[in-house]
Copies of this chain bind each other. A is one copy, B any other.
Amino acid sequence: MAEDSAGAVFGALAEPMRRQLLQSIADHPATATELASRLPISRQAVTKHLSSLSAAGLLERERSGRDIRYRLTPAPLGEAMSWMAEVGGQWDDRLSRLSLTLGRPDPR
């Protein structure tokens, strides 16, 4: 259900380094070593974080020869937002309206 998915997303976004990685990847897709070169942690640590984000469905791995490039897949964010809007919508008109919008996926 959306329950477990939202939980995975919250767990992934709970760590500051993972939020930073996600923002960086959202700005521009990158490989693990590229990300590690701009950060104060090792490549293996970055890989672990990317695995967590990927397990939450937030990243897509694309292999090209020797390196692997990660890009954002924002769909699970919508489910997590839907959970929050459902919990808090009863007290907040703004969240309530969002809950309605999030209820049905974008008809593609």
Q: State the A residues within 8 Å of B (CB).
A: 6-7, 10-11, 13-14, 16, 19, 22-23, 26, 72-75, 77-78, 80-81, 83-85, 87-95, 97-98, 101-102, 105-106, 108
Contact = CB atoms under 8 A, between A and B. Distances in A.
A40 to B, nearest CB: 18
B108 A92 contact: no
Number of identical protomers: 2
B108 A81 contact: no
Contacts of A78: 88, 92, 94-95
A8 to B, nearest CB: 10
Nearest to A84: B77
A88 B105 contact: no
17 contacts: A10-B10, A10-B14, A10-B19, A14-B14, A22-B87, A26-B88, A72-B88, A74-B87, A74-B88, A77-B84, A77-B88, A77-B92, A77-B95, A78-B88, A81-B85, A92-B106, A93-B106
